[in-house]
Amino acid sequence: MGKLIFAIESSCDETAAAVVEDGRKILSDVIYTQIKDHAEFGGVVPEIASRAHVEKITPVVRKALMESGASWKDISAIAVTKGPGLVGSLLVGVNFAKTLAFSLGLPLIGVNHIEGHISANYLEHQDLEPPYGCLVVSGGHTHLLSVDDYGQMRVLARTRDDAAGEAFDKVSRTLGLGYPGGPAIERAAVKGDPKAIEFPRARIDEAPMDFSFSGLKSAVLNYINKQKMKGDKVNPYDVSASFQEAVIDVLSEHTRMAIRQNLWKKIAMGGGVSANGALRQRMEDMAKEEGAVLYYPSPRLCTDNAAMIGAAGYYRFIKGERADLALNADPSLRL
Ligand code: KG4
Ligand code: ZN
């Protein structure tokens, strides 16, 4: 048996625990999603999230250990998401991980959630090794990064305002399609025309690879309001398809710029939005045109999970990195 990392993730609305072997192999991967607790509010309610984490973390941890077939004495270290995320949610996982590490006498590793999303790729692509480029697109983050080595990355571009997933969620709420917005918009977009409405593709002159999605979100709202004022119908399928097309155009073209600038031969994607089928297809086509190989995790590993934290934690563990029991949640942790 290799080195087993027991990982915990609780940064937003998923309570998750996993056992990962040598950073590459999932022995167990348990996710309790709180989606139904938040759906009626159209987004994550922090207080409800913290409370649900407190209720679920013990059974989720137990299940992850049991399903792995391992026992605590087989575990080499405890890894936990220390940020970024919702502070009350993060604290539940961090405190649970500290308690486990202390009582079992195991090393503790604090992991950055974004590094987790990137590392999800190691669980399914055994040939993927740094250096490579990466696009992280989730509900809270939109980053283009250079992954120079395990646990060593540079942010090349980021969003100036909303994250891509946040834009999906807000547009979905406006159209009354429900939460989470990404999958709802993707389903609606299949029935619509991506060229029906011309929504803006923002460009920031002094930083052309940076992203901005708040203007796009406002353009969708304005369009809907104008239609209503004119007494015209809003076709939710066309709005979804045209909005999604604008997001995909921007994400793929900025990634193309980064590939050319950095001469990447390999690029990866991660985060909830990278589960989007239309985005995956466009990124595949773009990567092929640029002579690069594209990697992305299966949808379950794109959205929040603890296995990705186990993968990232493993590479920090073998480098000798250790957190002490003063480890704290950092809601705005940077890479
Ligand atoms: O990575 P994630 O689970 O949590 C964060 O770290 O934020 O990402 C959640 C985000 C949500 O905004 C959700 O709407 C979006 O990912 N998402 C999608 C899809 N599935 C999830 N966006 C577009 N298409 C999807 N299929
Ligand atoms: Zn995430």
What is the whole-number distance in angstroms between the Cα of residue 140 and the centre of ligand 2? 7
pLDDT digits 0-9 by tens, 216-268 = 999 999 999 999 999 999 999 999 999 999 999 999 999 999 999 999 999 99
For residue 1, is pLDDT > 90?
Answer: no
Q: Which atom of ligand 1 is found nearest the CA of 113?
A: 6
**How far away, in angstroms, is 182 Cα from ligand 1 center?**
6
DSSP element (H, E) containing 29: strand 25-33
**Residue whose CA lies nearest to ligand 1 atom number 7:** 139
The percent of residues in the chain predicted with pLDDT above 90, rounded, is 97
Q: Count of CB atoms within 10 A of residue 266's CB?
A: 21
Residues contacting 178, CB < 8 A, separation 6+? 39, 42, 172, 184
Question: In whole angstroms, what is the distance from residue 318 CA to residue 334 CA?
Answer: 22
d(CA 126, ligand 1 centre) in Å: 24
Which residues have CB under 6 Å of ligand 1?
A: 12, 138-140, 165, 168-169, 180-183, 186, 271-273, 275-276, 303-304
Cα 120 to middle of ligand 1, angstroms: 15
Q: Give, in degrees to the nearest 5, the angle at Cα 46 between 41 and 48.
A: 70
Residue 206 neighbours by CB under 8 Å, 6+ apart:
none
Centre a 10 Å sphere on the Cβ of residue 335 and count the other Cβ atoms it contains.
17
Three-state secondary structure call for residue 255: helix
Which ligand 1 atom minimizes the distance to the CA of 14? 3
Span from the CA of 332 to the centroid of ligand 2 (angstroms): 13
Look at residues 220, 235, 210, 118 and name the one whose alpha carbon lies nearest to residue 169. Answer: 220
* Atom of ligand 1 lying closest to residue 179 CA: 14
Instruction: From residue 85, give the alpha-carbon distance in Å to each of 174, 233, 299.
Output: 24, 38, 21
pLDDT confidence band for 81 (50 / 70 / 90):
very high
- Mark residue 151 as left, alpha or beta (left: phi above 0; alpha: psi -120 to 50; beta: remaining): left
- 180 CA: nearest ligand 1 atom: 14
Rounded to whole angstroms, the Cα distance separating 251 from 212 reads 10
265-275: average pLDDT = 98
pLDDT of residue 332 exceeding 90, the answer is yes
- Contact, 139 vs 164, CB < 8 A? no
Instruction: Tell me the pLDDT band of 42, cut-offs 50, 70 and 90.
Output: confident
Residue range 86-97, pLDDT digits in tens: 999 999 999 999
